[in-house]
């Protein structure tokens, strides 16, 4: 009998070590190493494996007729938008999100809509009993949907059951961390078991043509737990995001072989489940505080969808040696760059102030087009100047202080005009990208200095605070420029 090779594998990132240690050097997590047998990949005897020969398969050329992959609509417009138009036959999707964010609720609604449309939909739960899933369906008003339900964790039993009868159109596995296969000798939830279980389920989906959705747990830093190889094995990776105190939920496509990435679907969590939001801009701006200094509306773009969201900034003096920088919903490094450009090229002195920055509504922004709106909100808070309530801002700021153009200018302006905004502050070089009448008053800026001077002039009309020792033309927080 072959000697088993034991190794210590990190249950967070999948890194393997020859001996146990408290901290994983690859991901930095503590107490995540578990002992696993790397040679016990199959129970087939060695004598049989050595005599097995490979089968011949046909090689094809690049030229030939290729048909578009048929898609199955889920019945939820926002979910179809993120997946690229629906579920592709034989595709495998990995859905991740924080505990309690609503992953099971979303998939219960999707399987129920498919079952009501006459398709065979199967929901396999490895974490909850059948009675618990039924209670959720009753709360959502979906108890009458003909969804085939089971509470099972054995991959071999699941594949054998699904192979009987008609091929299911959609199979949900909730979650992949609870599945186990007897082909490997490891505890359920370990890296080896997750990898082997995912391989067996993906093999079934590719052979049968059933669309498969795997639910994955996430770590405390928001990454999908388990080996990273699982993300490479699947066709699409969807992230379900949202704050626990907010009712908004955002489904984001991180990877998609059959559609665009960085596409989002917006939902609202209600007592009857997730409600689709067809116009997320109205939702994010519904509780907007008009006329307050430090707020600016950013005309952003998420995938192919323009989204308007409010950016909030608070600049306050500090007595600490190192000012605090707190950011929610935006990249902290991007904020540090904007602050440095404001101080180096625009004379805005922020080294003695705490800066708090927030994206309203729980949305996370990653595109650099938010630089101009963030700078406007920061200067507005510093000078106590109220920005125009009917204005939107977008543009990328370079390290030299210039404002660079961004993509899809016309789509951003069209969304702003549809929501009643009458003015847009955008890069001067973006005028050529505007097709036809934008329907808004366009204020173009070539450099950040122009925007800062305009906002500072608005702030001079406000009465100076008691803490300002001088009441002159220099707004608080600005330093005089020589020449």
Q: Report d(CA 208, CA 185) in Å as an integer.
A: 27
Could you say which DSSP state residue 23 is in?
B
- For the stretch 46-100, pLDDT in tens is 555 455 567 787 888 888 776 656 789 999 999 999 998 999 999 999 998 888 8
* Per-residue pLDDT tens digits for 397-448: 999 999 999 988 988 999 999 888 999 999 988 876 675 556 788 999 999 9
Residue 483 has what pLDDT? 35
Task: State which of 278, 299, 316 marks the end of a domain.
Answer: 278
pTM recorded for the entire structure: 0.75
- Position 477 in a domain: no
The residues, ordered by sequence, that sit 6+ positions from 408 with a Cβ below 8 Å of its Cβ are: 301, 306
Whether 90 and 139 have beta carbons less than 8 Å apart is answered as: no
Residues 17, 87: one domain? no
State the CATH number of the domain containing residue 444.
3.30.230.10
399 or 366, higher pLDDT: 399
Range of the domain at 383: 283-459
In a domain? residue 56: no
Q: For residue 53, tell me if it sits in a domain.
A: no
In angstroms, the Cα distances linking 213 to 7, 89, 169, 288 are 30, 12, 11, 37
Per-residue pLDDT at 67: 64
**HSE on the CB side for 320, CA within 13 Å?**
10
Q: Would 51 be classed as within a structural domain?
A: no
Q: What is the pLDDT of residue 198?
A: 94
Same domain, yes or no, for 172 and 310?
no
Question: Using alpha carbons only, what angle is made at residue 177 by residues 176 and 183, rounded to the nearest 5 degrees?
Answer: 85
Buried b (16+ CB within 10 A) or exposed e, 304-326: ebbbbbbbbbbbeeeeeeebeee
Q: Is residue 482 part of a domain?
A: no
Q: Is the peptide bond before 227 cis (omega within 30 degrees of 0)?
A: no
* Whether residue 245 is found in the same domain as residue 300: no
User: Are 166 and 229 within one domain?
Assistant: yes
Query: Are both 250 and 288 inside the same structural domain?
Result: no
- One domain, residues 311 and 398: yes
The answer on 86 and 177 residing in a single domain is: yes
> Are the CB atoms for 136 and 100 separated by under 8 Å?
no
Q: Which of 278, 297, 329 is the last residue of a domain?
A: 278
In the prediction, which pLDDT does 271 show? 86
Q: How far apart are CA 172 and CA 137, in angstroms?
A: 15
Q: How far apart are CA 219 and CA 96, in angstroms?
A: 10
Lookup: tokens for 381? 């808070």
Q: Does residue 163 register a pLDDT over 70?
A: yes
> Are 342 and 303 found together in one domain?
yes
The mean of the pLDDT values for the chain is 85
- How far is residue 314's CA from residue 121's CA, in Å, rounded to a whole number? 50
Same domain, 448 and 315: yes
Q: Is residue 266 part of a domain?
A: yes
Average pLDDT over residues 233-248: 84
The angle subtended at Cα 225 by Cα 270 and Cα 327, nearest 5°, is: 65
Q: Which residues pair with 396 in a beta bridge?
A: 404
Tell me what pLDDT residue 463 has.
Answer: 38
Report the CATH number at residue 126: 3.40.50.300
If asked whether residues 288 and 274 sit together in one domain, one would say no
Helices (H), 262-331: 280-284
Instruction: Using alpha carbons, select from 240, 243, 245, 259 the residue that is nearest to residue 106.
Output: 240
Q: How many domains does the chain have?
A: 3
Residue 35: strand, helix, or coil: strand
- On the question of pLDDT at 294 being above 50, the answer is yes
Which of 320, 126, 111 shows the shortest CA–CA distance to 216? 126
Same domain, 218 and 317: no
Sheet bearing 16-17, strands edge to edge: 16-17, 6-10, 33-37
Residues 14 and 228: their CA atoms lie apart, in Å, by 7
Determine the Cα–Cα distance for residues 101 and 388; give it in Å rounded to an integer: 36
Whether the CB-CB separation of 81 and 250 falls below 8 Å is answered with no
pLDDT in tens, 167-201: 999 999 998 989 999 888 888 888 888 889 999 99
Residue by residue, DSSP assigns 314-383 as EEEE--SSS--EEEESS-HHHHHHHHHHHHHHS-B--TTEEEEEEEGGG----SGGGHHHHHHHHHHHHH
In a domain, 1, yes or no: no
Whether residue 158 is contained in a domain is answered as: yes
pLDDT per position as a tens digit, 133-155: 999 999 999 999 999 999 999 99
Q: For 339-363, what is the mean pLDDT?
A: 91
Q: Residue 364 and residue 329: Cα distance in Å, rounded?
A: 4
Q: Are residues 325 and 210 in the same domain?
A: no
């Amino acid at each position: 009998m072959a000697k088993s090779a034991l190794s210590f594998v990190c249950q967070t990132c999948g890194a393997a070590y020859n001996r146990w240690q408290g901290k994983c050097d690859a991901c930095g997590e503590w107490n995540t190493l578990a002992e696993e047998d790397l040679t016990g990949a199959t129970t087939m005897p060695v004598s049989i494996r050595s005599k097995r020969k490979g089968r011949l398969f046909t090689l094809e050329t690049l030229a030939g007729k290729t048909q578009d992959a048929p898609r199955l609509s889920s019945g939820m417009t926002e979910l179809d938008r993120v997946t690229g138009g629906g579920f592709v036959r034989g595709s495998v999707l990995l859905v991740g999100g924080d505990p309690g964010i609503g992953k099971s609720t979303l998939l219960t609604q999707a399987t129920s809509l498919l079952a009501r449309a006459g398709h065979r939909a199967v929901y396999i739960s490895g974490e909850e009993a059948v009675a618990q899933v039924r209670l959720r369906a009753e709360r959502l008003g979906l108890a009458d949907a003909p969804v085939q339900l089971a509470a099972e964790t054995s991959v071999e039993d699941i594949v054998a059951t699904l192979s009987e009868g008609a091929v299911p159109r959609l199979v949900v596995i909730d979650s992949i961390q609870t599945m186990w296969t007897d082909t490997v000798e490891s505890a359920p939830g370990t890296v080896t078991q997750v990898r082997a279980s995912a391989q067996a389920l993906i093999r079934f989906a590719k052979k049968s043509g059933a669309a498969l959705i795997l639910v994955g747990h996430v770590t405390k830093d928001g990454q999908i737990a388990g080996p990273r190889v699982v993300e490479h094995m699947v066709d699409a990776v969807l992230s379900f995001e949202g704050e626990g105190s907010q009712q908004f939920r955002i489904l984001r496509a991180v990877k998609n072989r059959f559609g665009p990435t960085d596409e989002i679907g917006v939902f609202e969590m209600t007592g009857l489940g997730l409600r689709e939001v067809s116009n997320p801009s109205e939702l994010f701006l519904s509780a907007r505080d008009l006329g307050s200094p430090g707020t600016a509306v950013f005309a952003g773009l998420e995938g192919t969808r323009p989204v308007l969201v409010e950016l909030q900034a608070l600049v306050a003096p500090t007595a600490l040696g190192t000012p605090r920088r707190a950011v929610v919903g935006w990249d902290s490094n991007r904020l540090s760059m904007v602050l440095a450009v404001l101080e180096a090229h625009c004379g805005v002195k922020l080294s003695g102030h705490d800066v708090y920055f927030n994206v309203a509504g729980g949305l996370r922004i990653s595109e650099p087009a938010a630089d101009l709106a963030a700078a406007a909100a920061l200067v507005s808070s510093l000078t106590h100047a109220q920005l125009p309530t009917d204005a939107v801002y977008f543009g990328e700021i370079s390290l030299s202080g210039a404002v660079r153009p961004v993509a899809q200018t016309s789509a951003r302006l069209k969304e702003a005009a549809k929501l009643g905004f009458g003015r847009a502050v955008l890069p001067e070089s973006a005028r050529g990208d505007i097709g036809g009448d934008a329907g808004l008053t366009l204020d173009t800026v070539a450099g950040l200095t122009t925007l800062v001077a305009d906002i500072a002039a608005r702030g001079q009309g406000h009465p100076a605070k008691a803490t300002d020792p001088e009441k002159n033309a220099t707004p608080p927080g600005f330093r005089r420029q020589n020449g």
